[in-house]
Structure 1
């Protein structure tokens, strides 16, 4: 098995995909929204129009074709490293997009390889809807003589200071069983036996579910719950989360329309760091 560093710049075949109002409702409850979030969890509440969470973009738009260009590897050795989204408009509760994925970086980290894929999703009429950048670390695929790329250590500029805002949300014991219905059926998040093979005493929460919980907190704390004001979000996964844990998102304003953030598990450890979000000021 070997990673192909020459894959940088290659693209996958554009893929059209769609989602429904029901998909948006399912995603919302998958990231913990409930009876106090009826604009996201119902489609027929009186005088409340349904809306979609901005982070739903992570489960929309198929860019998997780009991975066909990076060579062969054991999927079990792949770990999600970082995730970024940029919204060009408010995400509709139902719609379709055409998505093109591009391999934008392949770094040699010695013990593994980091692969970055950037995808751009446009509406059928060509209007940009959202972009995503994801990086994955593939253990055992380094050492091919490529560039190491940027350092993985990025300290928070406000680390150690009191956050301007702090929001705590609690995941359910069965959170992963709901979230998996939005597309990621990896048994690591549902099957105790499979989780044990990976070294965990029970299934862990999807990293992108933690990302969604974090997005909910940012939307609440910085955008007064209005997804039309949410512009972009990026962060790095730094520790697994177990269903049932509370998640505390700490936010430091970074000028008008921007903030830094980190997400912490129930014991205070950092589970999502190097976070940055942009939004339209009120």
Structure 2
């Protein structure tokens, strides 16, 4: 069997050194659609190196996403990329991410869950620099056709639906070329660029990276409900409920709660089909 759950979880963690600077930060922000309008002071903090802020979701691409790449090549894991989808993502921030950094990321397969027709891999990365921990990231990777091995189904991540009308609602357009730009931050899966590969995975055209939608949503929350202050974010998690296609528009609904923001994200052009669900940003 391509996935040996016991072997994968028991494997020794893998460590690697990663580094980034302002160019990596700026490229990531541009891949999320930052910089429109180009001279807006609220956008310049994402695009201009003299006053650059780092959106915490940059953690998912720092070092070209070494944690996920390493996890998919861990002992006991052998999967077809065409069967792989990102099921969910969470980040815990231990302190703000610096504009320039050098750190060590330690990655392991934290769990393998059996969902019947699919398996879910929980790939955990813990990142620290000389000053201590920076962030912990969990990626839930959905692998079609690899379930049914009799393992633990794992915990439910479903949350009760938000109550009442949202406190804020915004729309964010996705450029036709956005996946091509976003993938330059390190996710080279051809599912997001190659029509023939996308067809093998069951899609009529390439899809947007789930982590691009993830980053766009966090930016919308920070810009509209957190006064544009990225340092207020303490944690961020979501479940990827559906795909997004370049050229579509995201509708992001936000509800304030005590110390957090709930968000639900849909694709406007497909009758508000759900794309991100169970989304929570914790903050100060």
TM-score after normalising by structure 2: 0.90
Return the offset for 1:222. Answer: 2.2
Q: Does 1:185 align with 2:188?
A: yes
Return the offset for 1:195. Answer: 2.0
2:176 and 2:30 mapped to 1: Cα distance?
13
Distance 1:4 1:143, change over 3 A: same
Which structure 2 residues correspond to residues 68-217 of structure 1 after superposition, within 5 A?
68-123=74-129, 125-151=130-156, 154-158=158-162, 161-217=164-220
2:228 and 2:113 mapped to 1: Cα distance?
38
Q: How many matched pairs?
A: 272
Q: For 1:69, what is the secondary structure of its paired residue?
A: coil
Return the offset for 1:30. Answer: 0.2
Return the offset for 1:9. Answer: 4.9
Asked whether the equivalents of residues 11 and 103 of structure 1 are also in contact (C-alpha less than 8 Å), the reply is no
Distance 1:151 1:279, change over 3 A: closer
2:202 and 2:115 mapped to 1: Cα distance?
23
1:51-78 deviation per Cα after TM superposition (whole angstroms, max 9, x unaligned) = 2111111101522334413332223211
User: How well do the aligned residues superpose, as a CA RMSD in angstroms?
Assistant: 1.6
Asked whether the equivalents of residues 232 and 278 of structure 1 are also in contact (C-alpha less than 8 Å), the reply is yes
Question: 2:256 — aligned with what?
Answer: 253
2:120 and 2:23 mapped to 1: Cα distance?
35
1:191 and 1:146 mapped to 2: Cα distance?
34
- Bigger share in helix: 2
User: Is 246-255 or 186-195 further displaced after alignment?
Assistant: 186-195
User: Is 79-88 or 183-192 further displaced after alignment?
Assistant: 183-192
Return the offset for 1:200. Answer: 2.2
TM-score after normalising by structure 1: 0.91
Runs of 5+ unmatched residues, structure 2 = none
Q: For 1:158, what is the secondary structure of its paired residue?
A: coil
2:94 and 2:265 mapped to 1: Cα distance?
25
Question: 2:5 — aligned with what?
Answer: 5
Q: For 1:79, what is the secondary structure of its paired residue?
A: strand
